[in-house]
Structure formats: C-alpha cells, structure tokens
Structure 1
C-alpha cells in the first residue's frame, strides 16, 4: 500500500503511525479531524483489532466519530470522559513555538475544546506544515449564522489595527451553500498572509460579537511529530526541549488505508 502513496501521504502515514504508539491501555484519547488524523484513526483501529489495545476515544467531529466506530474504536463524549490523557490531531500550520492554525477541516471549535481538556496535545503533520510565521494558510473563524455579514465587517475593521499583511475575510462554502460546522455555524476564512502577533490576534478576534472561536491554537500543543516522505519522523517536545529522530519502515503489502479518501 505505502509504495503507491505520494510522498506527502507517506509523511502523514509515518507521523500517524508514530503517534499511535503513544496510546496505551486505559487511556482516554481525543481524536482530531482531517486527513492526517484519519490516518491515525486507521492505525489505532488496527492496534485495537490485532493487538488488543483498549482505550476510549473522544472524537472532534462527526466524521471522525464515524470512522472510529467503523474501525472498532470505542467512542464516548467529552462530557462522559470529563478529562483526557492525550489528544492527537493534525494542523494546517505550526511554527517553532508549536503555535498552530487549525480548522481547515471545519472542526476547530470541538478540536480546541478537546485539546484543552487533555493532559497533553500531540500534533501530527507532514514537514510542509511548518512555517516561520503563521498566516499563509487562511485563518478559520467560526461565527454564528445570525448577522454573519456584520461579524465579517467587524472582523475586517478590527484587522486594520492588527499586525497582519492581509485583511479580507470570505465565507467558506460547500458547493453553492455556506459550509456548516457540526454546531450549525458558519466559518469565515481570514486571508492574512502573515500574522505578526498571533496571541494578540486570537484574543481580539474572540471579543467580536458573533464570533464563537478562532483557529489559532496558542500554548496548547506540547509535542509535534513531523513525518517525511522517506519514512523519517522527527519528534519535538516543547516542554522538554528535546528533538528525536527515527525512521519507520513501510509495510508494502499493508492495505489498511486503501479505502481512505480524505
């Protein structure tokens, strides 16, 4: 299987495979949303079936919950679990301080709630997600549908005083309709190009009426596992200040992800 994957998909796979090894029996684990997180769910499902791994998952979206159940992972709610040992999720961008932009998959609200209700957050990503400054990827902001155009205007007005290069916001679409989150909200994508002060921007945006949450994850991620197309992985722990490198072998006959299309 892996021999047919693109280098980016190989990178996602090895990052997910390395992160799956962090999950231990009895853990309560948050499962992220997106293409890299989907590889993780498949890896964990294989460990449940073939190795007898026993843990409980709290998914961050409806589609992650559906995939987890499909591969045999027991699923519960955050209210039931109350607190998590670990959350593993992807990211659209991360910087040297492990600050993130998330929400490209539209699940930023649940992802942020689950991540902050965990002892540890681990991000899995291919090397292309690392940036010098956040902002090249559009920053998602979840807003309630009522008055969303007013919220958009207020956000764009606020951006004038922020340390960013771009100041436009667009409504995310799903075909010819506005994209809807699991909570029934809309997403505005902010085209900022570069964010000079992510912490300030996150705080200011969340004060705007109609804004539910933004996709800046500041001081939430503890570890990033970076995958490379040649099978190498790099594990950076910001709390310990450590960097570890290793290589994972591909299993060429494995068809675990043959039906995965994300």
Structure 2
C-alpha cells in the first residue's frame, strides 16, 4: 500500500498517524475537514476497529461527519459534547508562531468554533504549508449571501488601509454556482499575498457587516505535527516550547508503516 501513495500523501498520513496517538478512550475529539484531516479520521477509525478505542467525535463539516460514521466513530454535536479534550485539523498555511490560514475546504466557521471549544488544538500538516509570513494562500472569509457584493466591496475598501500587499477578492464557486457552506453562506477568497499584521486583520474583517468569520486562526493552535514523505514526523508544542522528532519506516508487506525504535 505504501508504494501506492504519493509523497505528499505519505507526509499527510504519517502526520495523521502521529496525531492519532494522542487520542485515548473516553475523549471527546474535534475532527477537522480537508484531505489531511481525512487521514486522521481514517487512522482513528482503524483504532476503533482494531484496538477498541472508544471516543466521541465532533465533526467540523458534513463531509467529515459522514467519513467518521463510515469508519465507526461515534459522532455527536458540539452542543451535546459541550467541551472537547482535543481538536485535530489541517491547515492551508502556518507560520513559526503556529498562526494559521484555514478554510480551503470551506469549513472555517465550524472549524474555528470547534477548535476554540477544546482544551487543545493540534494541527497536522506537511512542510510545504510552512511560510515565513501568512498570506500567499488566499484568505477565506465566510459571508452571508444577502448583499454579498456589497460586503465584497466593503472588504476590498478596508484592505487598502491595512498591511497587506493585495486587495482583490473572488467569490468561491462550485461549478457555475456560488459555493455554499454547511451554514448556508458564501466564501470570499482574499488575494493578499502577504499579511503584515494578522491579528489586526482578523479583528477588522470581523467588524465588516456581512462577514461571519475569517480563516485566520491566531493563538488557537497548541501543537503542530509536521509529516514528511520519508516518514519523519516533527512535533512542535508551543506551550511547552518543545520540539521532538520520530521516524516511521514504510514497509511493502501490506502494513503501511511501523514506528521505528529510537
């Protein structure tokens, strides 16, 4: 199976496998959205099936909810859970301070709500998502459909006075129609190129009428798990100020990998 995976999928998979090791029976776990988070859900499903893991998962999208049910994870709502032990999700970009851009999958609103309702947020990613300064990836903002073009104009006018390089935005589409989030809203992707002051930008965007939430996750991520195609995984814990590395060895005998001894 390992030979069937692309290098990028190997990196995502080992990051997800390492993150899954932090999940224990009895936990309430936020389940992110996107291709990397999907690997995590599959890893947890394997643990449920093969190791007797018993957890309750709070998904951040209908797509994740369906996948979680398919692999045997008990799915509950955030209202039922009330508070979570851990949320594990991917990211579109991250910087050295573990600030993030998220929302490439269109689930940023639920992702942010779930992440902030957790004792800890863990992000799984590959090294290609690391940047010196946020902004190369278009910043998504969720806006209500009513008057979205007016909201778009207000956002672009506001961006002129902020520390960004670009001020244009585009309505995210799904084929020939606007993309619709699970909450029934639209997504505007802001093409900023560079964000000089992410904290200020986040606060200002959320004051614009029509904007529901933005994809900047500031001071939310606690632990970053970075996977590499060669099986190396680096874990950065911003609260402990620690970094650790482990190595997974890929096999060709049907098992995707084993964890190498230190």
Structures share fold, TM-score greater than 0.5: yes
Which residue in 1 is equivalent to 2:186?
186
TM-score norm. by structure 1 comes to 0.96
Unaligned runs of 5+ in 2: 257-262
TM-score norm. by structure 2 comes to 0.96
Paired residue total: 256
Q: Aligned equivalents of 1:203 and 1:249: distance in 2?
A: 44
Q: Aligned equivalents of 1:123 and 1:195: distance in 2?
A: 21
1:99-129 Cα offsets, whole Å, 9 max, x none, are 0000000000000000000000000001100
Q: Does 1:55 align with 2:55?
A: yes
Which residue in 2 is equivalent to 1:113?
113
Q: Aligned equivalents of 1:251 and 1:149: distance in 2?
A: 52
Which residue in 2 is equivalent to 1:65?
65
Q: Aligned equivalents of 1:35 and 1:93: distance in 2?
A: 14
1:127-160 Cα offsets, whole Å, 9 max, x none, are 1000000000000000000000000000000000
Q: Indicate the SS of the match to 1:29.
A: strand
Which residue in 2 is equivalent to 1:85?
85
Q: Indicate the SS of the match to 1:208.
A: coil
TM-aligned CA deviation for residue 249 of structure 1: 2.5
Q: Aligned equivalents of 1:107 and 1:251: distance in 2?
A: 35
Unaligned runs of 5+ in 1: 256-262
Which residue in 2 is equivalent to 1:12?
12
Which residue in 2 is equivalent to 1:139?
139
Q: Aligned equivalents of 2:255 and 2:67: distance in 1?
A: 19
Q: Does 1:155 align with 2:140?
A: no
Q: Stretches of 4+ moved more than 6 A in 1?
A: none
Q: Indicate the SS of the match to 2:188.
A: strand
